[in-house]
Structure 1
Amino acid sequence: MKGRLACLLACALLATPAGAQPVSATERAPEEETILPEGEGRSETFGYCTVCHDTALIRRSRFTRRQWDGLMDWMTERHGMNPLEGEFRVLIVDYLAQHFGPAQAPQRGRNPFLN
């Protein structure tokens, strides 16, 4: 399970166009909480997660609740994130699973060039 989560996160992190230069935190426009969908846990998720990365990583991820929960442990073990525990963890994981779960993947329209 942890290996699969690591692979999924690594793929998300590496999904940068070829030749693109990383943008430093000082060059990025500051994000606002409203970039995330409304819902219980939005403020907490934004405040806790954006200490280490921007919301683009969250917004392009589509994990199950179990995967989001496991990802919290992986980030703690591998990247030194402060452990999320108790009700605070439940709030953030529930928010992520509700708004960035597999069922919420954007629906792609039919290709107009195919008949």
Structure 2
Amino acid sequence: MKITIALRPALLALALLVPLGAAAQETDPETGLVKAEGWQVVKANCTVCHSAKLVTQNSGSRNHWQYLIRWMQDTQGLWQFRPEMEATILDYLAEHYGPKAGARRAPLPPDQLPPNPYKQADSSG
């Protein structure tokens, strides 16, 4: 009985760390893509040329994903999509691989940075 009581605060703390819905998101075992509306269209079109990890390890706004699609079309030979197919892809990517809040650590304060080896020496002294 003591073990159960002792675990409750730890389980509550752990539950607070997991984003809502994260545990409920099923992923495709082959690609790692979140199984949600549009995932099969993304799988069929994006993994023809590159690994799905290129998608799952990145994030961005809808505009960012659209920029990447245009770049691939302009420079990598990606075909043009029908407008409704492109909208499905962008909706999916923006929803499931959108910008991550707080994904980067805050910059270090100047007093915690190492000396800059490229800083010009003060010659006024």
Question: Secondary structure at 1:71's aligned position in 2?
Answer: helix
Q: 2:45 aligns with which of 42, 45, 48?
A: 48
Unaligned runs of 5+ in 2: 1-28, 106-125
Which string of whole-angstrom CA distances, capped at 9 and with x for unpartnered residues, describes residues 79-103 of structure 1?
A: 0000123100000011011111113
Q: 2:76 aligns with which of 75, 79, 82?
A: 79
% of aligned pairs identical?
Answer: 34
1:21-100 equivalences under 5 Å are 32-33=30-31, 35-100=32-97
Unaligned runs of 5+ in 1: 1-30, 109-115
Instruction: State how far apart, in whole Å, the 2-side matches of 1:97 and 1:78 are.
Output: 22
Corresponding residue of 1:14: none
- Structure number with the higher helix fraction is 1
TM-score, normalised by the number of residues in structure 2: 0.55
Which amino acid is 2:85 matched to? F
TM-score, normalised by the number of residues in structure 1: 0.60
What number of residue pairs does the alignment pair up? 77
Instruction: State how far apart, in whole Å, the 2-side matches of 1:80 and 1:105 are.
Output: 34
Contact preservation (8 Å) 1:64, 1:101: yes
Query: Which structure is richer in relative contact order (CA contacts within 8 A, separation 6 or more)?
Result: 1
Kindly state the Cα deviation for residue 104 of structure 1 after the two structures are TM-superposed: 7.0
Give the RMSD, CA atoms, in angstroms.
2.2
* Residues 44/103 of structure 1: CA separation in 2 closer, same or farther (3 Å cut): same
